[in-house]
Chains A and B, each alone.
Chain A
Amino acid sequence: MKGEEILKVESLSKHFGGVQAILDFGFLLRKGEFLGVIGPNGSGKTTLVNLITGFVKPNSGKVIFQGKDITGKMPYTIAALGIVRTFQMVRLFYNLPAYKNLIIPLSSTRVKKLRGGEYGERDDVAVDLLDDMGFERDSFVPYKLAGSLPHGYLKRLDLARAMALRPDLLILDELFSGMAMSEVASTLPLIEKFHEEGLTIIMIEHRLKELFRVVDRVMVLNFGQKIAEGSPQEVMNTEEVRKAYLGTEVEG
């Protein structure tokens, strides 16, 4: 099964007024692959995620997922097909207990279809999912209001919300931003585990050290265009990438 093409992006372009956010962008993703996306601030990483997941409609180009053209489809249709994302700024329901946040994806038709008849109580499924994410079920943490949880838990709750849909392709938009070192250290093995279980993942990240430890391939963006692609070592040795991250020397 591995190696089969799962996502193909073809000459995708998007501009917001005069700003070219993504220009003639294309890449290929194979099943089971772990792709890292890096780039300086404002280089179009989040726009790329929004274009793939349908939150922003492209001006031109195509997104093909598992052989289906999903360009310009609604976000819920794309999520139902199996592309699920997390948000850079977590979008959760803070006035609900943590586990109740998962009731929302668990109510979707995708989950109903995947789980068939034997479903079980949604609440139980939700607590099980949180347990997998390191919310100790006996500690009352899953039952606390989401708004009262520390940031690291919120990020993992957002991850659990995505995993509740049993995605075919998981897109993590700066999962580690704002996390403490210890929180990153406890979350990274989860992501590695998903990858080992065969999940295809795209991960956008600013923490290069952690990212390079887990990904197979890295793509570097700058000003909406791909400036390099390859293994982490290859990419960091590219002249253009160094320029984008460190700037160019001024002559004289």
Chain B
Amino acid sequence: MAEIEARYRKKRLDRGIKARADTIFAIASRREILYLILPRVLPVILLLSLPFLLPVYWGKVLVYACIYGLLALSWDFLAACGLFSLGQAFFLGIGAYIAGGLSYYFHWSPFITLPIATIGGGVISAALLSPVVRLRGVYFAMVTLMLPMLFMKMIETTGLLGGTHGLSALKPFPAGWTGTYLVIGLFWVCLFLFRRIINEDYGLVLRAIRDDDRAVMSAAINIYWRKIQALFIAGAVGSFAGAFMTHHYQFVGMSAFALDFSILPVAAVTLGGPGTFAGAALGSMILVPLSEALRALGGMRMAIYCVILILSVIALPEGIFHYIERKYHQFEKLVRVG
């Protein structure tokens, strides 16, 4: 038997559905339409129906996962143009405190504070980080790591914006599904928008800056201005997540600048697969519920969580999404050799 098997070899083939360019498909049948649409539509339907299907507790975890998901998407967007951030908590905290402050002092409704916090957070993030866009790699990462700590300490010592007690009894979202669906909706919008932008000419230039900034400079493109624009977009998304969190929990405190919000999105993107945004979304949808599920284990929770993370990174260094995508677009068949 072994002799016969040896004459065959497994061959992996790409499904020939793409023609010439990335965005042009040659579709021949209904089956191929489904092949293209299902992986996009199914997750959307699933996530939209989950709040109905899940028990209340896990519904809350889902919202939490969406908040982390937005941060992970924002991280992946910055990474796409070569900015390696360790300070997603900064974006989150700025948005949280803008929304919290407006709601606490002026009693504005979430539907006014959310847009203001989103845009304002983006502007502040871009403005504060613009002097350091010339820094690359670990130097930029260091600055972003420091910023949330700086703000946290400033609020702690000056006692401004509620100081160590934070601001509580803020305006909530209207009762019902509004809050949940707002964050799920924006999570999807953000995911598909980012995937679109990064493949447009605009995103192409951003990716080129990551690959070789000197070549982009010689093409008469102001790379620092482009990086500031990317910081605004990423900052706005992070700030939205923060502003949403503030109103959802009706509280904002120094914990909005906590290190967790900086590190977990990076872990989620690494696990899910960087550069695709879908990987970032998938990663946070796995990591956050996993961390909750392990809560029953008590003290060993973090240790086991870390072991799972390490193992997954070793086993699938490319990330889960890259692996799934590759397998989905390939089929294997046995080819006779000789």
Do chains A and B interact in one complex?
Answer: yes
Q: Which residues of A contact B (CB under 8 A)?
A: 53, 55, 74-77, 79-80, 84-85, 87, 91-93, 95-97, 100, 103-111, 122, 140, 143, 161-162, 164-165
Q: How far is the CA of A143 from the CA of B201 in the complex (A)?
A: 16
Contact of B204 among A55, A100, A140 (CB under 8 A): A100
Report the minimum CB–CB distance from A142 to chain B (whole Å): 10
Residue from B201, B202, B211, B214 within 8 A of A75 (CB atoms): B214
If A107-B204, A109-B220, A143-B21 are given as contacts, then 6 extra A-B residue pairs at C-beta distance below 8 Å, sorted by A number, are A75-B218, A84-B218, A100-B204, A104-B208, A104-B215, A107-B201
Pairs A-B, 10 closest by C-beta atoms = A79-B220, A91-B215, A105-B219, A108-B220, A75-B217, A80-B220, A76-B217, A110-B220, A104-B219, A76-B222
A79 to B20, CA, bound (A): 32
| Chain A min CB distance to B213 (Å) | 10
- Partner pick for B212 among A55, A91, A122, CB 8 A cutoff: A91
Q: What is the interface of chain B, defined by CB distance below 8 A to chain A?
A: 20-21, 201-202, 204-205, 207-208, 211-212, 214-223
Nearest B-chain residue to A92, judged by Cβ? B215
A107 to B201, CA, bound (A): 7
Chain A residues closer than 8 Å to B212, beta-carbon distance: 91, 93
A164 to B223, CA, bound (A): 18
A95 to B212, CA, bound (A): 12
Query: What CA separation (Å) do A165 and B207 show in the bound complex?
Result: 20
Task: With both chains docked as a complex, state the minimum distance between the C-beta of B122 and any C-beta of chain A, in angstroms.
Answer: 22
Contact B218 A103 (CB under 8 A): no
Task: Specify the chain B residue showing the minimal Cβ separation from A108.
Answer: B220
Question: Shortest Cβ distance from B254 into chain A, in angstroms?
Answer: 39
Would you mind naming 10 contact pairs between A and B with Cβ atoms under 8 Å apart?
A76-B218, A76-B223, A85-B218, A93-B215, A105-B219, A105-B220, A105-B221, A140-B20, A161-B219, A164-B219
Across the interface, do A74 and B217 meet the contact criterion of CB distance under 8 Å?
yes
Contacts of A108 in B (CB 8 A): 219-221
B214 touches A76 (CB 8 A): no
The minimal Cβ–Cβ distance linking B33 to chain A, given in whole angstroms, is 24
Question: Does more than half of chain B's interface fall in helix, strand or loop, or is it mixed?
Answer: helix
Q: Do B220 and A53 touch (CB < 8 A)?
A: no
Q: How far is the CA of A198 from the CA of B218 in the complex (A)?
A: 22
Contact between B218 and A143, CB atoms less than 8 A apart: no
Pairwise interchain contact B214-A93, C-beta atoms closer than 8 A: no
Contact (Cβ within 8 A) A53 B204 = no
Are the C-beta atoms of B204 and A104 separated by less than 8 Å? Answer: yes
Is B222 in contact with A103, judged by CB distance below 8 angstroms?
no
In the complex, residue of chain B having the shortest beta-carbon distance to the beta carbon of A75 = B217
Asked if A96 meets B21 with Cβ closer than 8 Å, knowing A55-B214, A79-B220, A165-B219, the reply is no
Q: Is the CB of A87 within 8 A of B221?
A: no
Contacts of B207 in A (CB 8 A): 93
A55 to B212, CA, bound (A): 14
Taking a contact as CB atoms closer than 8 A, the residue among A104, A122, A143 that contacts B216 in the complex is A104
* A85→B220 CA distance, assembly (Å): 11
Q: Is the CB of B211 within 8 A of A93?
A: yes
When the two chains form their complex, are residues B20 and A53 in contact, meaning their CB atoms are under 8 A apart? no
Chain B residues with Cβ below 8 Å from A97 are: 21
A231 to chain B, nearest CB (A): 31
Residues of B within 8 A of A165 (CB): 219-220
Q: A91-B215, A92-B215 are in contact. Are A143 and B220 (CB under 8 A)?
A: no
How distant is B79 from chain A, measured CB to nearest CB, in Å? 16
Residues in B with CB closer than 8 Å to A106 are 201
Contacts A76-B223, A143-B21; A93 near B208 (Cβ below 8 A): yes
How many Å lie between the Cα of A143 and that of B208 in the bound state? 18
Chain A hits for B216, CB < 8 A: 76, 104
Inter-chain CA distance A161–B216, complex, in Å, is: 10
B221 contacts which of A85, A107, A143 (Cβ < 8 Å)? A107
With A109-B220, A165-B220 as contacts: A104 and B214 at CB distance below 8 Å: no
Residue ID in chain B nearest A79 by CB atoms: B220
Once A97-B21, A143-B21 are accepted as A-B contacts, the answer to whether A103 and B205 lie under 8 Å apart by CB is yes
A53 neighbours in B (Cβ, 8 Å): 218
Q: Find out whether the CB atom of B218 lies under 8 angstroms from the CB atom of A79.
A: yes
B221 & A76 in contact (Cβ 8 Å cutoff): yes
Chain A, residue nearest B212 (CB): A91
Docked pose: A96 CA to B214 CA in angstroms? 17
Please report the C-alpha to C-alpha distance between residue A117 and residue B84 in the assembled complex, in whole angstroms.
Answer: 37
State the Cβ distance, A13 to closest chain B Cβ, in Å: 23
Establish whether residues A103 and B220, one from each chain, have CB atoms under 8 Å apart when the complex forms: no
Chain B residues with CB below 8 A from A143, complex form: 20-21
CB of A202 to closest CB in B, whole Å: 15
Residue of A nearest to B223 (CB): A76
Report A-chain residues with C-beta under 8 Å of the C-beta of B223: 76
- CB B50 to nearest CB in A, in angstroms, measures 36
